[in-house]
Amino acid sequence: MKKATVGKLLKKFRKYAPLFALVMILSAAYAVFSLYIPRLFGDAVDLIIGKNNVDFGGLSVIFVKIAVCAAAAALIQWCMSAVNNKAAFGIVGDIREEMFDKIQRLPVSYLDSHSEGDTLSRLTSDAEQFSDGLLLGFTQLFSGVCMIIGTLVFMLIANPTVSIVVIVLTPVSLFTAKIIANKTYGMFAEQAKDRAEETSFVNEMIGEEKTVFALGGQEQAKARFRILNEKLRRSSQKAVFSSSLTNPTTRAVNAIVYAAVALTGALTVISGGMTVGALSSFLSYASKYTKPFNEISGVMAELQNAFACAERIFAFTEEPEETKETGEGFEKEDGSVVMDRVSFSYSPEKPLIRDLCFEAAPGKHTAIVGPTGCGKTTLINLLMRFYDVNAGSIKVCGSDIRDVGRAELRSLFGMVLQDTWLRYGTVADNIALGCPGAGREKVIAAAKAAHAHGFITKLPDGYDTVLEEGGGGLSQGQKQLLCIARVMITEPKILILDEATSSVDTMTEKKIQKAFDEMTEGKTSFIVAHRLSTVHSADEILVMKDGDIIERGTHNELIGARGFYEHLYQSQFRQGKMI
């Protein structure tokens, strides 16, 4: 267990300090009432010792006191659990909210370099394990400590000599529990890591299930899962088994303590140092004294797991965020874009874009084409400031994008990507996602412009049809049309179309292209395309290869130049005729 992790947890607890203070007070009250009961039972035993010497009146009073104490202890324990649950779930809720908020502030580079499953595991499984550890840990830890202190007080009052036997043997139990707990921390950390790896794999397989089936990769997937599952089984078994040794070990030590107390107490009774009733109370205290140690030793295993999960959670929440924004606004919003000697690489040893320069005037339609991996998508990532340039500058509307807030910069853009994303909600909600205040008329107008109105009206509830996550039930082309309508409704200054019509048929593509032409009139637009038939009308085509712009011009100019673009175009043309 790292001290730094404990320190961070304590900071989280400050908000709920009053609740934890109340738990401690209730724990102390519970200990007093529950520990007073053995004392009363001891008094009752003394009232029935001796032939024809039973004090029924005194017993009645004692039994009433016992009933009151038991009822009070039960009520206090219920209140203590309720308060502890509120505090523990509040902390975990805050941590989950902080983690989700962190995702919104992380740079795209982090999300690109870390698996979704690992992030999901930290947000769900690790947080859940942490929550379980807190709930079990604090309830039993607070009450256990109070019970131990309270029992010692009652025993010292009853007989200091016998109490010394308990106090002397107590460190043996604590020392044993500490040794085992220290060894289990690393095991639980390994278990959390293996659990995240398995979660990541399962998440990947579920998301790409169709591809796995199409390629006949079910057996390979099952084989891989068996390996990961076996790895998790071994680490889990090792961690749980090792942590489980704590309880029986401390029970053995505590049994020795109980036997020592019984022997010492019996000798004291014989010598007249205490009554039989007092001995019975003392043995009950000895049992109550050792029980919290057993519970706390079991709790230590849960807390080790909770701390291991907390360390993974804090590692995530402390990841570097996107660089701070200056917050300056645009002097103008004409849609101009200028890239001046831009250089960028995802890793220093693999340069991608070097000294790239180009200018897109307001209202100009610029197409970006080239083979896979040439840097087309990277160029868009830089323009949207998902990544910052290593050298050079990018100016939008006359302002360096590093001097403008990201939210304000991105509000100028409308993006239609090849990969569609629809969230759970109605069709209308999905279209109005980027324009929450849009009325139904504006939503319908955008759908008509994207040629999506026809199929929407045929859905069971039209625009009020609820879509499952990912737009289940819709074809890929229909999903793409909704995404296009979602961009159209925002009326952006600059448009980015990344293979935006790749999932629709040729007739629909022509209709959408016409809608795009109307929407992009007077606006700057960038069209990233593999199918060169979609870029004929572009004002300028940038041909990229290995991160460089090797050719530029209109479609006719590039065809006439008989260069790389003409080679790409002819290859697609011949392939299209063959198909």
Question: What percentage of the chain reaches a pLDDT higher than 70?
Answer: 85
- pLDDT one-digit tens code per residue, 504-534: 667 766 766 776 777 777 788 888 877 777 7
What CATH number should be reported for the domain holding residue 238?
1.20.1560.10
DSSP code, position 468? P
Output the CA–CA distances (angstroms, integers) from residue 361 to 376, 490, 540, 541, in the order listed. Answer: 19, 21, 11, 13
Most confident of 23-27, 515-519, 534-538, 573-577: 23-27
**Is 0.75 surpassed by the pTM of this model?**
no
Contact 353, 345 (CB under 8 A): yes
If asked whether residues 346 and 254 sit together in one domain, one would say: no
Contact 296, 140 (CB under 8 A): yes
If asked whether residues 361 and 259 sit together in one domain, one would say: no
If asked whether residues 400 and 477 sit together in one domain, one would say: yes
Residue 577: the pLDDT is: 43
Quote the domain boundaries for residue 536.
337-578
Q: Domain count of the chain?
A: 2
Domain assignment present for residue 324? The answer is no
Domain assignment present for residue 21? The answer is yes
If asked whether residues 432 and 574 sit together in one domain, one would say: yes
If asked whether residues 343 and 311 sit together in one domain, one would say: no
If asked whether residues 251 and 361 sit together in one domain, one would say: no
Q: How many residues does the chain have?
A: 579
If asked whether residues 282 and 353 sit together in one domain, one would say: no
The residue among 199, 55, 225 whose CA lies nearest residue 114 is 199
Residue 75: the pLDDT is: 94
The residue among 76, 97, 111 whose CA lies nearest residue 15 is 97
**Domain end among 317, 348, 378:** 317
**Domain end among 317, 351, 372:** 317
Domain assignment present for residue 323? The answer is no
Mean pLDDT of 364-390: 84
Residue 176: the pLDDT is: 67
- pLDDT one-digit tens code per residue, 224-243: 888 888 888 888 888 777 76
DSSP E strands, 26-74:
none
Contact 117, 196 (CB under 8 A): yes
If asked whether residues 275 and 345 sit together in one domain, one would say: no
Quote the CA–CA distance of 488 and 433 in Å, as a whole number: 11
User: Looking at the predicted structure, is the pLDDT value of residue 182 above 70?
Assistant: no
Q: Which two tokens stand for residue 467?
A: 């879509």
Contact 332, 397 (CB under 8 A): yes
- pLDDT one-digit tens code per residue, 262-276: 777 777 778 777 777
What CATH number should be reported for the domain holding residue 543?
3.40.50.300
Specify the higher pLDDT residue, 454 or 192. 454
Domain assignment present for residue 566? The answer is yes
Mean pLDDT of 289-308: 72
User: Looking at the predicted structure, is the pLDDT value of residue 347 above 90?
Assistant: no
Domain assignment present for residue 532? The answer is yes
If asked whether residues 251 and 378 sit together in one domain, one would say: no
Burial of residue 249 (CB within 10 Å: 0-12, 13-18, 19+) is middle
> The tokens 């859940």 sit on which residue?
128
User: Looking at the predicted structure, is the pLDDT value of residue 574 above 60?
Assistant: no
Domain assignment present for residue 322? The answer is no
If asked whether residues 342 and 299 sit together in one domain, one would say: no
